[in-house]
Amino acid sequence: METNPVINSEPIKPTRKSNFKLSRIFIYLLLVLGSVIMLFPFFWLVRSSFMGMNQIFAFPPEWIPKPFMWSNYSEALTSVPFDKYLLNTLMIELLVLAGTLVSSTLAAYSFSRLRWKGRNIVFMIILSTMMLPYAVTLIPTFMMWKELGALNTIVPLTLPSWFGTGINGVFNIFLLRQFFLSIPRELEEAAYIDGASPLTVLLRIIIPLSKPAFIVILIFTFIAVWNDFLGPLIYLNDDSKFTLAIGLATFKGLYNAQWGYLMAASVAIVTPIVLLYFVAQRYFIEGITLTGTKG
Amino acid sequence: MKWRSVKIASLVLSIVFLLFGCSSGESTGSSNNNGDQVELTFMYWGSNMEKQAIQKMIDSFNKSHPDIKVVGQHVAGDYNTKVNTLMASNELPDVAYLGTSLAKKWAQEGKIMDLTDYQDQYPALKERVAQSYLYYEPGKNVGNTTASEIEMMFYNKSLFEEDGVEVPPSKAEDAWTWDELIKTAQKLTKDSKGRTADESDFNPKEIMQYGISVPSTFNGWLPMVLSNGGDIVNEEGTELTLNTPEAKEVFQNIHDLIYKYHVAPTPVQMENMPATSVSLQTKKVAMAIDGQWALLDIAGSGVDFGVAVLPKFDEPKTIFLSGASVIFSSTEHPEEALEFYMYHNDPEQVDLFETGLWMPIQEEYYTDEAKIKEWTDNPAHPEEYRDAAINYLLDNAVQAPEIDIINWDQINTELEQGLDQYWTDAKSLDDVLAELEESVSPLLEGRYPSE
């Protein structure tokens, strides 16, 4: 009786281990293959950004720039006033991020924790605005800003985020609401017993517990603003107010493109986003899994 | 604790007010007109280089016209989305670039100024190249195209010299026949082992250098169809006439260039090729059919190039195409807008003519010897340019369909989608033309008048 399990278990163990190892190798191979495929366009972008026109289109394709054309960067970044565009973009980012945090937190808190008449109906209506394509609301919104005298300013690009709309606005409210719902009610009940007001509960309990969700929102919104092309294109007229996305488009003409410059400028503009991802990656993944499983 | 939330709330409010504060300050600043100075906006598209040239022109205009202040608005990327939004919300600029098709459509709706009323005031409005006039109703035009452009041929001279092949002709009367084109292109098409396309062991799967590239859009085939006596639509513009022997012969011949003689790249290969200037410079093609505007980049690339007229079937023909410059009827200052309109594409004021991007629309720059020299006496314009571009435009250029066929933008989308199936060898010509007959016919609403 005693020997049987021993005899049985001994030969099983090593095979399991080797199976385990084999599958690991296989998984890693698969992952490496996947990441090569995913990273290839990015590699191509970086490679082309150091090449002259002749080399970019050489056939068979060449992998290593020869010579390294650093001048692509210096010329691309000076032929268009990217420093000014960067400042403009950062200004918009700052206002939008601040507005988004304030407005979507308050809205999400109200939709998840406070009880009021018609709450769910209002929430449904707000969610339904997500279904409207941008193109449908573009012209009416534009006319509204025109009446308010806000054309050619950054107001149409930033103010909506203070009211829970604008870039990613409704999505952020939704995401935060789901996250808040996952926080146990018992925590705040304790605070209420100690005499806290709803706002104190939000500031002292809900917000500190929701860091991952806030970071997800910040990253999403930051990227969306960074890449927004249509908004600045429509609302801004003065060169001095343009954003990076618009600056990038000037390298692509109607009939041709200065590929080397375009690639160099793209690398320069994409780099902050990539860095941001690496810095915030931990929270980012945490935030997604939390909101994903407990929503 | 309550105190704290009040603090936060007031901080939030003050940020919002700050935001509003600085922005409303800005908006009052920009709409501030001092005294009797008239402010105009001019909206345009173009590369960075064009933008600098246009801004220079605007600056010198503002300097010489102290009572007018023109503000240039350069639109990068999606021009049509922007201009459509502005149109829908009645926020249009005073003067602007516009696609010719859209310009005529909006002119019929009364949104663009009819410039024929001003011909007595500005006699120069009458002295322009015939093809550049944009008539939307008989006797009424919105003015002219911004510049003149035609389809022509560019070639890499050194490749012809190396192989001892005769370069393409620059005079329209000497234009190559299609057979001459094929023969020359064969000698200049080479595989990876240096064999040319007319050799028996030529390997069409490893072509390193093509003899010629032809755009798959109407820019490539329409000049040939016209040369062969055909057209896209009939005289009245009510019937598609691509299913005629004249047009079909041209389509078949261009198709043969790609798939029978292997001297031209397929559309898929074309997609992966750089702009004409780089293709010529890197010896991917020996000859290229492209718009005159390509001259700017070709001359800039430093390649030893030449210009030539297109091959012909019967009569030598090319097409005239360009964007329009218009004044919107919503402008509050038509007189000042006209003043700027006359100035904005004057070769004396803009250097885009010398660099090769534009050809003038002012007739005197084609007839007056001294004036011709002003814009062509430079390295960007080779010796044979006089015949291959200037005379070619005057004698052989016909308005492109975007200028004279109503509804062109939609028609062209259908044509390109349909014909692409033939250029990629996915469908037979007859099938494609039969399908086009069905999809294009409902879109045909005639032609715009030509005077």
* DSSP for A250-290, written as a single string: TTB-SS-B-HHHHHHHHHHHHHHHHHHHHHHHHHHHHHHHH
pLDDT one digit per residue (tens) for chain A, 295 residues: 444 444 454 555 555 666 778 889 999 999 999 999 999 999 989 998 998 777 777 767 788 888 888 888 888 888 888 899 999 999 999 999 999 999 999 999 999 999 999 999 999 999 888 888 887 888 899 999 999 999 999 999 999 999 988 888 899 999 999 999 988 888 888 889 999 999 999 998 899 888 888 988 998 899 999 999 999 999 999 889 999 999 888 877 655 567 788 889 899 899 988 888 888 877 777 666 655 544 3
Closest alpha carbon within chain B to A154: B23
The three state secondary structure string of B418-436 is HHHHHHCCCCCHHHHHHHH
pTM for the full predicted model:
0.82
Domain ranges of chain B: 38-149+322-393, 151-320+405-443
Q: Give residues 98 to 157 of B whose Cβ lies within 8 Å of A.
A: none
Average pLDDT for consecutive 10-residue bins of chain B (451 residues)? 61 59 43 69 88 92 95 90 91 95 94 93 93 94 95 96 94 95 95 90 91 94 96 93 95 96 91 85 93 91 93 96 95 95 94 93 94 93 95 95 92 94 94 95 92 83
Q: Could you check whether the bond before residue A60 is cis, i.e. omega within 30 degrees of 0? A: yes
Of A54, A246, A259, which has the smallest distance from its Cβ to B76's Cβ?
A: A246
Q: Determine the angle formed by the axes of helices A259-294 and A71-79, rounding to 10 degrees.
A: 80
Helix (H, G, I), strand (E, B) or coil at B13: helix
CA–CA dist A266, B281 (Å, integer) = 25
CA-CA-CA-CA dihedral for B132, B137, B138, B141, to nearest 10? -40
Is the distance from CB of B443 to CB of B407 less than 8 angstroms? Answer: yes
Q: Which amino acid is at A80?
A: V
Q: What is the distance in angstroms between the CA of the first residue and the CA of the last residue of chain B?
A: 79
Is the distance from CB of B81 to CB of A234 less than 8 angstroms? Answer: yes
Predicted local confidence at residue B72, as pLDDT: 94
Q: Give residues 138 to 197 of A whose Cβ lies within 8 Å of B.
A: 138-139, 142-143, 146, 149-155, 158-159, 162, 196-197
DSSP string, B368-426: -HHHHHHHHSSTTS-TTHIIIIIIHHHHHEEE-HHHHBTTHHHHHHHHHHHHHHHHTTS
Predicted local confidence at residue A257, as pLDDT: 65
Q: Give residues 307 to 366 of B whose Cβ lies within 8 Å of A.
A: none
CA-CA-CA-CA dihedral for A9, A14, A19, A22, to nearest 10? 170
Kindly indicate whether the domain formed by A78-246+265-290 is annotated with CATH number 3.90.226.10.
no
On the CB side of B321, CA atoms within 13 Å amount to 20
Backbone angles phi and psi of B74, in degrees to 5: -90, 130
Record: contact B89-A142, CB cut-off 8 A: yes
Interface test with B, best of A143, A250, A263 (most B CBs within 10 A): A250
Is the distance from CB of B227 to CB of B313 less than 8 angstroms? Answer: yes
Is the distance from CB of B151 to CB of B321 less than 8 angstroms? Answer: yes
In tens, the pLDDT along A237-279 reads 988 999 999 988 887 765 556 778 888 989 989 998 888 888 8
Closest alpha carbon within chain A to B298: A256
Record: contact B27-A57, CB cut-off 8 A: no
Interface test with B, best of A233, A244, A248 (most B CBs within 10 A): A233
Of A57, A197, A247, which has the smallest distance from its Cβ to B278's Cβ?
A: A57
Record: contact B88-A139, CB cut-off 8 A: yes
Backbone angles phi and psi of B359, in degrees to 5: -110, 145
DSSP string, B190-227: EETTS-BTTSTT--TTSEEEEEEE--SSHHHHHHHHHH
Contact with chain A for residue B283, Cβ under 8 A: no
Contact with chain B for residue A56, Cβ under 8 A: yes
3-state helix, strand, coil in chain B (%, to 5): 45, 20, 35
Closest alpha carbon within chain A to B6: A199
Closest alpha carbon within chain B to A160: B16
Is the distance from CB of B132 to CB of B78 less than 8 angstroms? Answer: no
CA–CA dist A129, A171 (Å, integer) = 10
CA–CA dist B376, B359 (Å, integer) = 10
Record: contact B30-A152, CB cut-off 8 A: yes
Of A57, A251, A253, which has the smallest distance from its Cβ to B273's Cβ?
A: A57
Q: Give residues 232 to 291 of A whose Cβ lies within 8 Å of B.
A: 233-234, 237-239, 246-247, 249-259
CA–CA dist B45, A123 (Å, integer) = 43
Q: Determine the angle formed by the axes of helices B48-64 and B334-344, rounding to 10 degrees.
A: 130
Q: How far is B164 from chain A (nearest CA, A)?
A: 25
CA–CA dist B328, B326 (Å, integer) = 6
Long-range CB contact pairs, A124-133, < 8 A, 24+ = A126/A164, A126/A170, A126/A173, A127/A170, A127/A174, A129/A165, A129/A170, A130/A170, A130/A171, A130/A174
Q: Give residues 220 to 239 of A whose Cβ lies within 8 Å of B.
A: 229-230, 233-234, 237-239
Record: contact A250-B30, CB cut-off 8 A: no
Predicted local confidence at residue B9, as pLDDT: 63
The topology under which CATH files domain B151-320+405-443 is D-Maltodextrin-Binding Protein; domain 2 (3.40.190)
Closest alpha carbon within chain B to A196: B1
Of A53, A158, A250, which has the smallest distance from its Cβ to B274's Cβ?
A: A53
Which helix (H) or strand (E) element contains residue B186? helix B178-188
**Helices and strands (H, E) in chain A, number of each type:** 15, 0
Predicted local confidence at residue A277, as pLDDT: 83
From residue A179, give the alpha-carbon distance in Å to each of A174, A288, B27, B348, B374: 9, 10, 40, 65, 70
B268: tokens are 């898929």
Record: contact B281-A230, CB cut-off 8 A: no
Q: How far is A272 from chain B (nearest CA, A)?
A: 23
Is the distance from CB of B219 to CB of B322 less than 8 angstroms? Answer: no
Closest alpha carbon within chain B to A247: B76
Predicted local confidence at residue B28, as pLDDT: 38
Predicted local confidence at residue B32, as pLDDT: 42
Beta-carbon contacts of residue A134 (< 8 Å; ≥ 6 apart): A230
Of B85, B278, B279, which has the smallest distance from its Cβ to A142's Cβ?
A: B85
Predicted local confidence at residue B394, as pLDDT: 95
Is the distance from CB of B266 to CB of B258 less than 8 angstroms? Answer: yes
Is the distance from CB of A103 to CB of A161 less than 8 angstroms? Answer: yes
Beta-carbon contacts of residue B368 (< 8 Å; ≥ 6 apart): none
CA–CA dist B122, B446 (Å, integer) = 31
Predicted local confidence at residue B272, as pLDDT: 77
Predicted local confidence at residue B149, as pLDDT: 96
Contact with chain A for residue B297, Cβ under 8 A: yes
Closest alpha carbon within chain B to A100: B12
Q: What is the largest CA-CA distance in chain B?
A: 92
Handedness of CA A129, A133, A137, A138 (dihedral sign): positive
Q: Could you check whether the bond before residue A67 is cis, i.e. omega within 30 degrees of 0? A: yes
Handedness of CA B129, B130, B131, B136 (dihedral sign): positive
Record: contact B24-A149, CB cut-off 8 A: yes
Is the distance from CB of B278 to CB of A54 less than 8 angstroms? Answer: yes
Helix (H, G, I), strand (E, B) or coil at B242: coil
Q: Which amino acid is at B176?
A: W
Contact with chain B for residue A83, Cβ under 8 A: no
B336: tokens are 């000042």
Number of other CB atoms surrounding residue B101 within 10 Å: 23
Give me the CATH code for the B38-149+322-393 domain, please: 3.40.190.10
Is the distance from CB of B96 to CB of B328 less than 8 angstroms? Answer: yes
Q: Give residues 170 to 229 of B whose Cβ lies within 8 Å of A.
A: 208
Of B8, B91, B274, which has the smallest distance from its Cβ to A151's Cβ?
A: B91
CA–CA dist A73, B94 (Å, integer) = 37
CA–CA dist A79, A81 (Å, integer) = 7
ipTM passes above 0.85: no
Is the distance from CB of B233 to CB of B239 less than 8 angstroms? Answer: yes
